[in-house]
Structure 1
């Protein structure tokens, strides 16, 4: 067995049980809702429904990334055990956590010069970042060494696609991803913007469609266009949502019908507290392997 650590941030939006089962080490972001501070601990402190219900009720959320000191403490536990580290971070396009991890690496390399510490900017987020971690865990468990795994993910990370839309534009307006005027018009006209993550790991609006049904259909079309082997895609597809159970299940069924060779069922996850604090309720995202993302 390869004796190295595969780690990520809690913003990979899988369940705590899945991280444990796949032997993926996790460091937690922080968030605040109301006057309370919490760890983004995969929904244990504040379950997803409670989080989004409170946001719906008007409570303000704030998030904070992992600090250099926290990364140093987290990494050093494994280095003391004589283990190397491959850490995949949340996209630098939406967070400074990658830079914090790199600073921690530089400090620790002086203290542990015999150890390998690789830090990778995933250029991804949420359960797409999670699907990257699952894929790396599969390769690690298949016997791939840390150097080869590091080279593989650096070469292939932009092949992870993120497509998402929202039925509630409030938090996209608040975060500046959609102008206030466009958001107000969009709300009145029932517009659902379709966004993806570009090659710089930045959330980017691509199309504006009227109504959920049309937007869901277009999301599936984007998967057909970009997925490896198109409708014959045989990889995994993950979907995450912020309390949109009915729409999430409907979209998953559409994908499973359109892609008959899919590797298992579409796996559905909850959007976590850090990502959800910025998207708000009403967001649905799909993730799959495909062609290389472009700007």
Structure 2
């Protein structure tokens, strides 16, 4: 049995069932709705309740990152039994979660100086972070070492991408996360911004006025990535993430099959509270990550 234990913050959007099946421990973010007390995502606050607040009550949730204590509490039992830790986190540009984990590592190293703790800034979030973690779990199950898994994550995060369309700018403005997206002009409230997360940074992918054109744009931008990089799509894994417009999944899947027929697509997933609190409803996207076999590890 492997001595490597894999952790993630809650922005990976793995369900409780998936994380249990994969053997990945998830430290949740905290979500507050309407000024109420912060609750742990999935553990104390279900997605059904969260989306009801955002969609039916037009609410603006807020989030808080896992604390240093949360990470210390999660890591300690593993170190006590001599295990090695891989902990993969949302990009530092969107949250301070990775800094909390780094601080926890420094604290724990005083008590467990021989402990191996690898804290990874994934440069990603949501679906691509989940795919990185799934590959890490696959490596663990193939008896790869913690050093090899950490090396994979550090390499693969550079090639991973999220390309997504949001329903509008309202939630990004409310959360102060609009940044470069302001270039699209916040006065054009009917546009659907298309955003790319690469290298840990948000980039403008364009803007469309209809959902269908937006879905086409997502597939075109995914194709452009592979054309520009010269990468082989069959060496990647991909998934489709959606907040609430589940009816868009089959059409986006079809566009991706047309543009990238060799790109393996996993089942779609629902984007969780941590990310959708900032993007708002009407968010649909595609994420892709290179398999670990594609790297010289």
What is the deviation of 1:169?
2.6
What is the TM-score normalised by the length of structure 2? 0.88
Q: Which stretch shifts more, 252-261 or 93-102?
A: 252-261
Partners of 1:100 and 1:142 lie apart in 2 by 30
Partner of 2:163: 163
Determine if contact 1:256/1:266 at 8 Å carries over to the other structure: no
Change (3 A) 1:145 1:231: closer
Q: Say if 2:153 is the partner of 1:150.
A: no
Match of 2:186 among 171, 183, 188: 183
Determine if contact 1:52/1:280 at 8 Å carries over to the other structure: no
Task: Give per-residue Cα distances to partners, 1:237-273, cap 9 Å, x unaligned.
Answer: 111111111112321232234333233x442111111
What is the deviation of 1:230?
6.0
Partners of 1:13 and 1:252 lie apart in 2 by 20
Partner of 1:6: 6
Partner of 2:89: 89
Q: Say if 2:120 is the partner of 1:120.
A: yes
Partners of 2:183 and 2:256 lie apart in 1 by 33
Once the two structures are superposed, the pairs formed by residues 15-54 of structure 1 within 5 Å of their partners are 15-34=15-34, 35-41=36-42, 45-54=44-53
Partner of 1:237: 238
Partners of 2:140 and 2:232 lie apart in 1 by 28
Partners of 1:186 and 1:67 lie apart in 2 by 36
Task: In structure 2, list runs of 5 or more residues that go unmatched.
Answer: 291-297
Change (3 A) 1:143 1:220: same
Task: Give per-residue Cα distances to partners, 1:133-186, cap 9 Å, x unaligned.
Answer: 011111111121111111221122111111011123321232341449923324
SS of the equivalent of 1:197 reads strand
Partners of 1:37 and 1:104 lie apart in 2 by 21
Partners of 2:198 and 2:148 lie apart in 1 by 25
What is the deviation of 1:229?
5.8
Change (3 A) 1:165 1:182: same
Partner of 2:257: 256
Determine if contact 2:168/2:189 at 8 Å carries over to the other structure: no
Task: In structure 1, list runs of 5 or more residues that go unmatched.
Answer: 291-295
- Aligned pairs, how many? 283
SS of the equivalent of 1:281 reads coil
Partners of 2:255 and 2:235 lie apart in 1 by 16
Task: Give per-residue Cα distances to partners, 1:201-229, cap 9 Å, x unaligned.
Answer: 13232312222122211110111121476
Partners of 1:64 and 1:7 lie apart in 2 by 18
What is the deviation of 1:30?
0.6
Partners of 2:84 and 2:113 lie apart in 1 by 11
SS of the equivalent of 2:32 reads strand
Give the alignment's Cα RMSD to 1 decimal: 2.1
Determine if contact 2:162/2:286 at 8 Å carries over to the other structure: yes
Determine if contact 1:3/1:83 at 8 Å carries over to the other structure: yes
Partners of 1:25 and 1:181 lie apart in 2 by 38
SS of the equivalent of 1:66 reads coil
What is the TM-score normalised by the length of structure 1? 0.89
What is the deviation of 1:231?
7.7
